[in-house]
Amino acid sequence: MTEVDEAQEAELSFGGALVVAGCDARMLERLLTPLTKPYCYRLSRIYYDWAVQAWRLLPIAKEPPAEADFAELLGALKPLENCNN
């Protein structure tokens, strides 16, 4: 039995997820044509933007503010007026 390398595993995982999602051969061709082979993409890092019909990278989330920054944000909050609590 032949071992699957990391690139092949990523390609199988990516393509397999599209198949499991219900993409038929025609849809797979449409989605995969603009991508570079091998398809070593992580669905957790890219998405298909249907509005522009292109794959996009997901934005990288910024780290949450440090405690000092969080305390500063809390101090900047204004109390709600006319709150009956």
Give the DSSP letter string of 44-74.
TTEEEETTTTEEEEPPPPPPPPPHHHHHHHH
Question: Cα separation of 42 and 17, whole Å?
Answer: 10
How many other C-beta atoms lie within 10 A of the C-beta of residue 41?
Answer: 19
* Every domain of the chain and the residues it spans: 6-57
Q: How do residues 8-61 score in pLDDT, each as one tens digit?
A: 999 999 999 999 999 999 999 999 999 998 898 988 899 999 999 999 999 887
- How many contiguous H segments (helices) and E segments (strands) does the chain have? 3, 2
pTM of the model: 0.62
Tokens of 73: 């944000």
